[in-house]
Chains A and B, each alone.
Chain A
Amino acid sequence: MEGRDPAVGHDGVDAGSDEHGAARGYGRVSGGHDEILEELVTLAADGLEELASIDDVSELGPAASRFLGKHSRLAQLKAGLRDVAAEHRAQVGEALNHARTQIESAVEVRRATLGEAAVRARLEAERLDLTEELGRDRHGHLHVITQTWEELEDVFVGMGFTVADGPEVETDWFNFEALNLPPSHPARSLWDTLYLDDSGIEGVAAEQLLLRTHTSPVQIRSMLDAVRRGDGPPIHVVCPGRVYRRDTADATHLPVFHQIEMLVVDRAVSMADLAGTIEAFTKAYFGEDLTSRLRPSYFPFTEPSAEVDISQPDGSWLEVGGCGMVHPNVLRACGLDPEEWSGFAFGFGIDRLAKIRHGVDDLRDFVTNDIRFLEQL
């Protein structure tokens, strides 16, 4: 820094301070203080001008130390303050501080300005069109059967039920016989049953193993379990599950579908309790403003039996499923005395509900696993 202009100026101050002071009309002249004042004004003005011209933030630091650093003209002037006449010292000191403050704040202003500009430039450079659809990933979807299944479970759990399941390969006893459908029962023809080829399985009588045609065997298992464990009825369970029929897949039938079945066994439950429970379920699942009705029907495992209809917003009735009081023979098969215990059951298809609720025209869409279908629901 030595030998640069400010250093020359420094010399110059010492040389001609009186003249400058007189010319500016400062009272009593002493030690060239008004030259110093003059120089400080110029110094500040030059500094501001130079700082304002800096466009690269990396040049700001060196410039700042040139004006403000140890070897700067400002520092020299400050060092020379002790040579200024005492009566002017305060004035010159103040002017020194003023010039320093001016330059310092100009540095900061410039730094801020350049910083903002840099951010702006970066933001501009990073601009993206978010409607460009690159890098789009597939979202996962639960199968709509699962969604419906879980929603139904939740409603029943909220009503105080627990959830039970059982095997899909069943024995004739669980699927039919215990349900008041002895081998010769004509109503067995209501279920087109898929039997397992048990010829290769040692010790199994013919037509003993089958794919369950309904979730009702889980009722039997629930009752038997309760009795066997000794914690007997009351029983409040729902049994959702996959069931099978010997059926060709078409728009309204699948050989494999899903049911959910509710079972209550207690000391004194009645058809009125069944109707009330179904009504509570209707309001919880379908909506508070809808209602249910029962129409007499026939199932071998319940008596009285009924079909359950749910009212629709358009005033029509939607046939949902079947229900009834557990048949005394079913209770007996599970080791329960029908004079002591009574029970009711209510079951329906999950797939059909999902189909109706989501406007699915063809049940086969549920098993085709076309991603274009799965990702819609």
Chain B
Amino acid sequence: MRLTRSWLRDFVPVDLPADELAEMLSDLGLEVEDVRATGVVPPEVVVARVVEVRPHPDADRIRLVDVDPGDGSVLQVCCGADNMSAGDLVALAPVGTVMPDGLEIASRRMRGQVSDGMLCSERELGLGDGHAGILVLDRPATPGTPLVEELGVLPDVVVEVDVLPNRPDALSILGIARDVAARTGLPLDGSSGPSPIPDGAPEGASVSVEDPGLCGRFAVCVLDDVAVGPSPPWIADRLVAAGMRPINVVVDVTNYVMLELGQPSHAFDAALVPGGHLGVRRARPGERLVTLDGVERELAPVDGVVVDRDDRILALAGVMGGAATEISGSTTSVLLEVAWWDPATIAATSARLGVHSEASLRFKRGVDTAMGRRALDRIVALLAEHAGATVRPGVAEFVGELPQAPTVDLRPDRVRRTLGREFPVEEIRQILEPIGFAVGAVTGEGPDASCPVEVPTWRPDCAAEVDLVEEVGRMYGLSRLPRTLPSITQRGRLSQAQVRRRAIRRTLVGAGLSEAMPLPFLAPGDLERCELPVTGLLLANPLAAEESVLRPSLLPGLVAAVAYNAAHRSTEVRLFEIGRVFEVGPGVLTEVEASVAAGRVLGGERERLAAVLGGRQAGSAVRLLEAVLGSIGVGVPELRNGAVPGLHPGRSARVFLGADGGVEVGAVGEVHPVVLERHGITETVAWLDLDLGTLLAMRVPSRQARAVSRYPSADVDLAFVVDDEVPASTLRNAIVAAGAPLVVSVTLFDVFRSDALGPGRRSIAYTVRFQAPDRTLRDAEVAEVRGRIISAVESLSGVALRA
């Protein structure tokens, strides 16, 4: 809602400067989006005559303008606009002028040319939004005259208020003035005066309403002798300032009164409404109406419509009038209608058709149920004054199911408990009555003492005690409330899982990885492109098809990130992500079926961790896996070679943790070369993916230290020829088992293949280190264990000691 201070002053004599007015409105909960002082033309700015316009020798976009400032001299001014020519009268800010934005005009050079002043645009002078060129006067004037004098502009303030959904009353100048008056203590001139409509039986107007739930009030009067022309400038100017386009005096006055009082209305050309009869009903399926904007709209039974005597649809109730009965230049008689429409109906129609008019906005939020007649009076008075209209006696009016403003019991103790400050009932009265609430006498004692509060008709949001408490706090000023700290008996801390998540992040960063956060949406086909099974939840209303799938895997996002970086010539990029993945799971059903009581996690949503290592091979991912698991102490992973979707089938393994086969917690390997190729990635990309939710939920006892032996250790190198089917981990496990407890480390140091070894086999060599905690090992002991290890390993099928 945009308003001017001058308009506000019709109701309350407020004279605050722009910033203080904005500050006050914000503190009242009327959030100021924008505030601008207008008409503050500096007194030094004068009318000047353009003598000559020349190009700048060294700058295409700058003109050199010689102007006559009225004192007989000629000044050269550099100007970026080119909408002026010799003889034009323009606004000159001479050297020394302080512009509204604080800029002081000085003599300066632009690309070597002197500029003694500035030619101003409308916006620079706070006169309007025009900034396409400089202001060129459209009337004769004498150079040297101060512009303020010439234009007769008055300083004003334009404020744009973002009215919150619970404050329909603030969608009017009157409503905002009421808050301002209450806060400043200035008087509110809210009087309406006697009605200009003579009493009597309505002539030439009748109404009928089929659905009283749809329409709480429907009132119509008739105006004759209407001269439909342009509005007087002050009405047009205020509409423009409020962001509306002036059309003609009849339409403008209805809009003007809507902005002023918050009550929308509609004017029909009476000549086009047979018998002056207006009816109200719900639309029927398939009915159509061409609305004022020229669009033919298909109506639905939820919509309210205004019809004529012959049941012809004239208007879409509360949303937009029809084109057929529009006010035109030839209109002389006007059927003027004000109504109160059911907010839910208007909200539904407005949403269904995507039509959001100023009228529908007010109706769907809830118009003052008592404002109808007053608005009618105001419109009639303005049209009588500015369009020569005469009004026929009487108002045809239907009153249906208007919501009654409630009386709500308010306990001062509840105010105290909620706001944290004592508000005696007298103070509550002083706070609430200026905004229209009537606070009755207190009954009861102590904490239960309460007073009845009558809610005004323009505050449909106030229906319960808490709403009144809020009003007390709002009008008192939330920032004036005391500030206390509640006592917290609980100890603040992170859970073990949260601590571990942080440890993992730091391990990954320490390993040189940066954290990525791709959007969790995928396009159809992304999963296929990544050789992943097509699962994942679909969005019902995605903004774009590219964002219509909720990812079931972190792989597409991270591979895309590697591809993006590669395309921008950053290779060997290493990234990780911690985020949720989604799949349809049976848990979803359980949760919805018992939506209140069900478990914490909707089925199929898991927290995962994934990493991509550009330019690295699978082994790097395995080492990263060990670092990650080591950082949270969940044990040593077991890798089982085998194909994993999305990964190189010969360079991937599933990761298991724990005894007895363990739980599968993820996968490790290299991204499938085909996937890389499809993404235009030419380097290998190592991959790690872990079910973080499972890892964080694992119970991990504190790790226990083991004394490091003080005695010398002995190393033995062992090389085996191993069939490709036998994983190295099998060898290692056999070595450790056979050498226990003297084996302290097993380090693989060489793998090779050769013609001598033959196909399908490789040589694997380990350094095995022996050490006892309590003595120096004797050569014989080492030899004995070595022998045990060799025979244990050789008993595996497909393994032999290399000769």
| Contact call B492/A372, Cβ cutoff below 8 A | no
Contact (A171, B564) CB under 8 Å given A138-B572, A140-B510: no
Q: Please choose the segment from A31-39, A47-55, A186-194 that sits at the chain B interface, where 4 or more of its residues have CB less than 8 A away.
A: A186-194
Within 8 A of B (CB), among A234-287: 234, 236, 242, 246-249, 254-256, 264, 266, 268-273, 275-277, 279-280
Within 8 A of A (CB), among B683-699: none
Residues of chain A lying within 8 A (CB to CB) of residue B520 = 242, 256
**Could you give, for residues 360-377 of chain A, a 1 whenever the CB lies within 8 Å of some chain B CB and a 0 otherwise?**
000000111111101100
Rounded to whole angstroms, the CA-CA distance of A66 and B733 in the bound complex is 59
Q: Does chain B have a CB within 8 A of A293?
A: yes
Name the contact of B595 in the complex, choosing from A162, A173, A293, A305 (C-beta under 8 A).
A173
Q: Does chain B have a CB within 8 A of A168?
A: yes
Residues of chain A lying within 8 A (CB to CB) of residue B514 = 138, 140-143, 371, 374-375
Rounded to whole angstroms, the CA-CA distance of A161 and B488 in the bound complex is 8
Rounded to whole angstroms, the CA-CA distance of A295 and B32 in the bound complex is 11
Q: Does chain A have a CB within 8 A of B708?
A: no
Residues of chain A lying within 8 A (CB to CB) of residue B165 = 186-187, 190, 298
Q: Does chain B have a CB within 8 A of A112?
A: no
Residues of chain B lying within 8 A (CB to CB) of residue A371 = 514, 565, 570, 573, 575
Q: Please choose the segment from B378-386, B402-410, B475-483, B772-780 that sits at the chain A interface, where 4 or more of its residues have CB less than 8 A away.
A: B475-483
Rounded to whole angstroms, the CA-CA distance of A369 and B556 in the bound complex is 13
Rounded to whole angstroms, the CA-CA distance of A204 and B592 in the bound complex is 7
Q: Does chain B have a CB within 8 A of A21?
A: no
Q: Does chain A have a CB within 8 A of B151?
A: no
- Size category of the binding interface on chain B: 35 or more
Q: Does chain A have a CB within 8 A of B418?
A: yes
| Contact call A186/B364, Cβ cutoff below 8 A | yes
| Contact call A304/B474, Cβ cutoff below 8 A | yes
Residues of chain B lying within 8 A (CB to CB) of residue A158 = 492
Residue in B419, B483, B512 whose Cβ sees the most chain A Cβ within 10 Å: B483
Name the contact of B515 in the complex, choosing from A139, A142, A196, A296 (C-beta under 8 A).
A142
| Contact call B488/A273, Cβ cutoff below 8 A | no
| Contact call B512/A295, Cβ cutoff below 8 A | no
Residue in B347, B491, B596 whose Cβ sees the most chain A Cβ within 10 Å: B596
Name the contact of A167 in the complex, choosing from B365, B565, B602 (C-beta under 8 A).
B602
Residues of chain A lying within 8 A (CB to CB) of residue B541 = 194-195, 246
Q: Does chain A have a CB within 8 A of B539?
A: yes
**Could you give, for residues 545-581 of chain B, a 1 whenever the CB lies within 8 Å of some chain A CB and a 0 otherwise?**
0010010000000000100110010101111000110
Name the contact of B351 in the complex, choosing from A170, A189, A264 (C-beta under 8 A).
A189
Residue in B167, B539, B544, B593 whose Cβ sees the most chain A Cβ within 10 Å: B539
Q: Please choose the segment from A7-15, A99-107, A120-128, A149-157 that sits at the chain B interface, where 4 or more of its residues have CB less than 8 A away.
A: A149-157
Q: Does chain B have a CB within 8 A of A88?
A: no
**Could you give, for residues 483-515 of chain B, a 1 whenever the CB lies within 8 Å of some chain A CB and a 0 otherwise?**
111101111111100100010011011111111
B590 (CB) vs chain A CBs: closest residue: A203
Residues of chain B lying within 8 A (CB to CB) of residue A297 = 29, 31, 164
Rounded to whole angstroms, the CA-CA distance of A368 and B602 in the bound complex is 28
Q: Does chain B have a CB within 8 A of A327?
A: yes
Rounded to whole angstroms, the CA-CA distance of A190 and B164 in the bound complex is 10
Q: Does chain B have a CB within 8 A of A159?
A: yes
Rounded to whole angstroms, the CA-CA distance of A161 and B512 in the bound complex is 32
Q: Does chain A have a CB within 8 A of B747?
A: no
Q: Does chain B have a CB within 8 A of A216?
A: no
| Contact call A197/B27, Cβ cutoff below 8 A | no
Q: Does chain A have a CB within 8 A of B26?
A: yes
| Contact call B494/A157, Cβ cutoff below 8 A | yes
Rounded to whole angstroms, the CA-CA distance of A109 and B508 in the bound complex is 54
* Chain A facing B: main interface SS: mixed
| Contact call B537/A196, Cβ cutoff below 8 A | yes
Contact (A146, B515) CB under 8 Å given A171-B595, A246-B543, A369-B564: yes
Q: Does chain B have a CB within 8 A of A137?
A: yes
Rounded to whole angstroms, the CA-CA distance of A270 and B486 in the bound complex is 9
| Contact call B486/A269, Cβ cutoff below 8 A | yes
Q: Please choose the segment from B249-257, B280-288, B464-472 that sits at the chain A interface, where 4 or more of its residues have CB less than 8 A away.
A: B464-472
Rounded to whole angstroms, the CA-CA distance of A316 and B389 in the bound complex is 51
Rounded to whole angstroms, the CA-CA distance of A247 and B547 in the bound complex is 11
Residues of chain B lying within 8 A (CB to CB) of residue A163 = 494-495, 498
| Contact call B502/A150, Cβ cutoff below 8 A | yes
Contact (A204, B588) CB under 8 Å given A160-B490, A297-B164, A303-B467: yes
| B628 smallest CB distance to A (angstroms) | 13
| A335 smallest CB distance to B (angstroms) | 9
Residues of chain B lying within 8 A (CB to CB) of residue A269 = 486
| Contact call A140/B512, Cβ cutoff below 8 A | yes
Name the contact of A276 in the complex, choosing from B473, B483, B573 (C-beta under 8 A).
B483
| Contact call A203/B564, Cβ cutoff below 8 A | no
A247 (CB) vs chain B CBs: closest residue: B543
| A270 smallest CB distance to B (angstroms) | 3
Residues of chain B lying within 8 A (CB to CB) of residue A279 = 483
Rounded to whole angstroms, the CA-CA distance of A7 and B351 in the bound complex is 123
Q: Does chain B have a CB within 8 A of A43?
A: no
Given contacts A162-B493, A200-B584, 11 further A-B contacts (CB under 8 A): A140-B510, A146-B515, A160-B490, A194-B541, A208-B592, A255-B519, A270-B419, A273-B485, A295-B29, A297-B31, A298-B165
Return the 4 tightest CB-CB contacts between A and B, nearest first: A272-B420, A296-B29, A270-B420, A140-B509
- Can you name 12 A-B pairs with beta carbons within 8 Å? A160-B488, A163-B495, A167-B600, A167-B605, A173-B595, A174-B595, A197-B537, A224-B596, A275-B481, A295-B26, A369-B516, A374-B575
